[in-house]
């Protein structure tokens, strides 16, 4: 089998004024996605997604990766990965060049799965689970209102919708963060898993202060307390708190995760397969974490393609450590407004009683909604 073409699609739409949402690093007024399509001489097509600014990841693929990819056999995905990485190694060991590889790599896995007529999790070694507990990522801020009572209402809504876990955005203001999380915990009781995510808005000292005040409220993990470069800050926060510390959505490749894991800076690593180098690299990072007895719970944030890829990955992750009552990985499902999450494929995920079933169809197990893709593709 040979690759005959590689296409990139930039999708974008503007949010309505009442849909605009914020987190500790800024406001979202539009949604976008960068979808990669790999065509082959056997008529099999694979799709992938790259996180990050779409105009730049698509340009990297079109100008740097595509000329190399034409004529290659998709089955040689690891050879392809290493050679693509090496093309920009001297210019981008992290960031957009690796995000662009991610989109290509996921599309290659989709091609291979379809070619062999098996779901990707079979190619990753098999499924440890048929379904995965899902957690809602929400509690973004709105320009019109951002009061504690609105966040409490949102929490109650998730519980009513069957979610047994959710992640609260913090990193705005120390006092406000503590008040909000406390009110949410008191409203939903002790049976719901609550995570907190500062999106690296704090210094280590502030993160420790917030964490200490929130320790009585059973926090399942504290995500990105400090910036990704501040490994020593992570170590300080982890040593000071009785809350598991998580990070990794802004880390790249086995090379980047090597030090994050071996320095004992985090309890949980969160590689995102649309960021960190695709499924090829995410599986290697999970293995690296396993070897250090660090839990791997992937980050997920994007369109239906990103979700489909992450579901295949999480199916194939061993519990770490294994026991009669292990801490199973849980699946991130963003709740911010995004029609690309809901309508880009003909099989959007369904949450049933707080769980999502792992798709068992070939490849990623999803079919692109071509009319929808065309309608939202930005003209270039």
Find, among 209, 208, 211, 206, the residue nearest to 195 by Cα: 211
Rounded to the nearest 10 degrees, how much is the dihedral formed by the CA atoms of 160, 166, 169, 175?
80
Per CB under 5 A, the segment of 10-18, 111-119, 194-202, 233-241 that binds Ca ion is 194-202
Interaction of residue 197 with Ca ion, rule CB under 5 A = yes
Is residue 233 a contact partner of residue 261, using CB atoms and an 8 Å limit? no
* Beta carbons of 134 and 333 less than 8 angstroms apart: yes
Please state the closest distance from residue 302 (CB atom) to Ca ion, in A.
13
How many residues interact with Ca ion (rule CB under 5 A)?
1
The pairing of strands 331-334 and 131-138 is: parallel
Nearer to Ca ion, 49 or 197 (CB): 197
Peptide bond into 321 cis (omega under 30): yes
Comparison of 9 and 135: residue with beta carbon closer to Ca ion: 135
Sign of CA dihedral 77, 79, 80, 84: positive
Please report how close the Cβ of residue 324 comes to Ca ion at its closest, in angstroms: 31
- Would you say 99 or 197 has its CB closer to Ca ion? 197
**DSSP letter (8 states) at residue 193:** E
Q: What six digits make up the tokens of 317?
A: 């992750």
Judged by beta carbon, residue 197 or residue 230, the one nearer Ca ion is 197
Could you tell me if 333 and 351 are in contact, meaning their C-beta atoms sit under 8 angstroms apart? yes
Work out how close the CB of 55 gets to Ca ion at its nearest, in angstroms, rounded to a whole number. Answer: 23
Q: How far is the CB of 199 from Ca ion (least distance, A)?
A: 6
121 catalytically annotated: no
Interaction of residue 281 with Ca ion, rule CB under 5 A: no
Let me know how long the chain is. 380
Measured from the CB atom, the residue of 140 and 355 that comes closer to Ca ion is 140
Q: How far is the CB of 57 from Ca ion (least distance, A)?
A: 19
Tokens for 28, please give them: 């979202």
Supply the minimum distance, in Å, between the C-beta of residue 375 and Ca ion: 30
Least Å distance, CB 122 to Ca ion, is: 29
Q: Which of residues 307-326 bind Ca ion (CB under 5 A)?
A: none
* Residues 211-230, mask of contacts with Ca ion (x by CB under 5 A): --------------------
Q: Which CB sits closer to Ca ion, 177 or 197?
A: 197
How many whole angstroms separate alpha carbon 275 and alpha carbon 292?
Answer: 22
The kind and range of the H/E element at 6 are strand 3-14
Report whether 277 contacts 103 (CB < 8 A).
Answer: no
**Burial zone of 91 (CB within 10 Å; 0-12 exposed, 13-18 middle, 19+ buried):** exposed
* C-beta closer to Ca ion: residue 197 or 236: 197
CB of 320 within 8 A of CB of 290? Answer: yes
Q: In whole angstroms, how large is the CA radius of gyration of the chain? A: 20
Whether 171 and 199 have beta carbons less than 8 Å apart is answered as: yes
* Contact range with Ca ion by CB under 5 A, out of 38-46, 75-83, 193-201, 355-363: 193-201
Residue nearest to Ca ion (CB): 197
Binding site for Ca ion (CB under 5 A): 197
Task: Name the residues annotated as catalytic.
Answer: 299
């Amino acid at each position: 089998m040979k690759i005959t073409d590689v296409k990139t699609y930039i999708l974008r739409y503007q949010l309505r004024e009442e849909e605009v949402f914020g987190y500790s690093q800024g406001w979202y007024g539009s949604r976008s996605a960068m979808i990669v399509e790999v065509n082959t001489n056997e008529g099999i097509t694979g799709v992938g997604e790259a996180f990050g600014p779409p105009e730049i990841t698509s340009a990297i693929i079109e100008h740097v990766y595509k000329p190399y990819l034409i004529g290659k056999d998709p089955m040689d995905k690891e050879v392809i990965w290493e050679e693509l990485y090496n093309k920009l190694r001297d210019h981008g060991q992290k960031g957009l060049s690796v995000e662009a590889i991610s989109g290509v790599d996921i599309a290659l896995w989709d091609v291979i799965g379809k070619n062999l007529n098996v779901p990707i999790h079979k190619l990753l070694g098999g499924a440890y689970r048929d379904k995965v507990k899902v957690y809602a990522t929400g509690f973004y801020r709105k320009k019109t209102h951002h009061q504690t009572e609105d966040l409490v209402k949102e929490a109650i809504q998730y519980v009513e919708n069957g979610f047994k876990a959710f992640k609260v955005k913090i990193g705005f203001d120390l006092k406000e963060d503590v008040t909000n999380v406390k009110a949410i915990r008191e409203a939903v009781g002790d049976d719901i898993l609550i995570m907190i995510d500062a999106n690296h808005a704090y210094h280590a000292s502030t993160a420790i202060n917030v964490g200490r005040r929130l320790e009585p409220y059973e926090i399942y993990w504290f995500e990105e307390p400090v910036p990704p470069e501040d490994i020593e800050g992570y170590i300080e926060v982890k040593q000071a708190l009785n809350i598991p510390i998580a990070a990794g959505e802004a880390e790249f490749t086995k090379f980047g995760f090597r030090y994050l894991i071996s320095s004992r800076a985090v309890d949980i690593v969160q590689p995102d397969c649309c960021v960190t180098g695709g499924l090829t690299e995410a599986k290697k990072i999970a293995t690296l974490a396993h070897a250090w007895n660090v839990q791997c719970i992937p980050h997920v944030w994007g369109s239906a393609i990103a979700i489909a890829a992450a579901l295949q990955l999480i199916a194939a992750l061993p519990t770490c450590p294994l026991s009669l009552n292990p801490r199973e990985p849980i699946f991130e499902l963003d709740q911010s407004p995004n029609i690309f999450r809901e309508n880009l494929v003909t099989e959007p995920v369904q949450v049933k009683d707080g769980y999502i079933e792992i798709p068992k169809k070939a490849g990623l197990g999803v079919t692109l909604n071509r009319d929808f893709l065309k309608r939202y593709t930005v003209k270039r």
